[in-house]
Amino acid sequence: MSRIRPLQRRSAPPQDQRQDSFPVAGEAVPDRFLSELGARVRTMRAVRGMSRKVLAQTSGVSERYIAQLESGQGNVSIMLLRRLAEVAGVQLEDLVADPAGRPKDWVLIRELLMQAPPVVIDDVKALLTGRPLDRPTQTANIQVDRVALIGLRGAGKSTLGRLLAEQLGWRFVELNREIERDAGFSVSEVFSLYGQDAYRRFEQAALARIVAEPGPMVLAVGGGIVSDPVTFERLLAEYFCIWIKASPTEHMERVRAQGDVRPMADDSSAMSELVTILKSREALYARARASLDTSGARVGDSVQALLRMVRNYCTAGCPYVARNRIAAAGANGPVCEAAAER
């Protein structure tokens, strides 16, 4: 299981120590670079579900400066930019470097390499240089008796996931509850005390632990899991992922009904922020194998639609190889509950 680094409580600098930097009159400013940098900062913030106000409060950089930076008008201070990157849990180079000059999935590849043991690094170097591997490669097994529901808060993942699991006779797991158990704090406390980076570390460790546990399950995950490329890639590899959608208005109504305002607390432009977050994550959520729009739908109808999706997946030719239960079930293996009524 992933080792979690010790947590350090984050505190923002006093208001009178916050630093802003603006263009100097007559100074040549590379407009295109600043515009593209601002767009990357805005996307970084949106994917992680952070409003400008929350980013300002946790980084100590003023909200006015962040707004100017995102609009391409800020004269960038490298120290302030570094502070924003640290709070959001991204590398500074991801904000500064032009992504057009990088390979596809570069961030994921880099994070995997940073976590890989030396023997895997040697294999990667061998593949890239055309040398034969010293050992045979292994093909990862995909859990076909596990379903994960992804999407923004308020889509109905927890409600639908619990009912789907009851219908299938499977275990239901909420990743946030597992994170709270491991951290000893509520999710909101982890965010407020230690920041998003610490939450993502708990999230990655909790998923790794759950993946190793036996038996079929329906898993509901937090909407921001897509912001961590390694964790999200693991989720896609181990679960049949379904994107649960809803209209922005229904998302907001359901979130407020739950009393959950994280991480856009006290933000008067919450709806605008939610739309921005949704747009920035759409391409990531779309990597799921299926999607379900719950806008205006009754809960029972949505559960039946999910059942059909799972059963259709099984009848489409997926091999039911439950690697965690095959030994106990004997040579023939267990029967796929999802396809039992096809």
What's the whole-number mean pLDDT along residues 254-280? 69
Average pLDDT over residues 62-77: 82
Q: What is the pLDDT of residue 11?
A: 52
pLDDT at site 24:
46
> pLDDT tens-digit profile of 84-108?
888 777 877 778 777 777 777 777 8
User: So what's the pLDDT on residue 210?
Assistant: 95
Tell me the sheet residues that pair with 122.
Answer: none
Q: What is the residue whose two structure tokens read 């759409």?
A: 282
Please report the pLDDT score of residue 192 as a whole number: 82
With a pLDDT cut of 70, the percent of the chain lying above it is 74
- The separation between the first and the last C-alpha atoms of the chain, rounded to the nearest angstrom, is 37
Whether 57 shows a pLDDT value over 70: the answer reads yes
Q: Is 195 left (phi over 0), alpha (psi -120 to 50) or beta?
A: left
Mean of the pLDDT values across residues 8-17?
A: 50
C-alpha distances (whole Å) from 188 to each of 173, 180, 229 are 19, 10, 22
What integer pLDDT is reported at residue 8 of this predicted model? 52
d(CA 180, CA 242): 24
Contact 78, 35 (CB under 8 A): no
pLDDT, mean of residues 219-226: 94
Of 46-55, 176-185, 195-204, 309-318, where does the model show the most confidence? 176-185
At 176, the pLDDT band (50, 70, 90 cuts) reads very high
**pLDDT at 316 (0 to 100):** 57
What pTM was computed for the model? 0.64
Q: What would the pLDDT profile of 285-337 be if each residue is shown by its tens digit?
A: 999 999 999 988 999 999 999 999 988 876 654 544 444 344 334 444 444 55
CA distance 28 to 321: 62
38 vs 176: which has the higher pLDDT: 176
| CA distances (Å), origin 74, targets 18, 35, 184 | 15, 9, 40
Q: Please, are residues 43 and 271 in contact by the beta-carbon 8 Å criterion?
A: no
pLDDT band at 142 (very low <50, low <70, confident <90, very high): very low
Rounded to 5 degrees, φ, ψ at 240 are -80, 105
Query: 178 pLDDT band (50/70/90 cuts)?
Result: very high
Cα separation, 73 vs 68, in Å, equals: 5
Span of 41-50, 119-128, 147-156 with lowest mean pLDDT? 119-128
- The residue count of the chain comes to 342
- Lowest-confidence segment of 12-21, 246-255, 333-342 by average pLDDT: 12-21
The Cα diameter of the chain in Å comes to 78
pLDDT of 135 > 70? The answer is: no
Average pLDDT over residues 185-200: 86
Tokens for 206, please give them: 């909790």
> What integer is the mean pLDDT of 165-175?
95
pLDDT score recorded for residue 221: 97
Confidence of residue 339 (pLDDT cuts 50, 70, 90): low
Written as six digits, the tokens of 143 are 């859990």
- pLDDT at res. 337: 57
Inter-residue contact 58 to 18 (CB < 8 Å): no
Confidence of residue 262 (pLDDT cuts 50, 70, 90): low
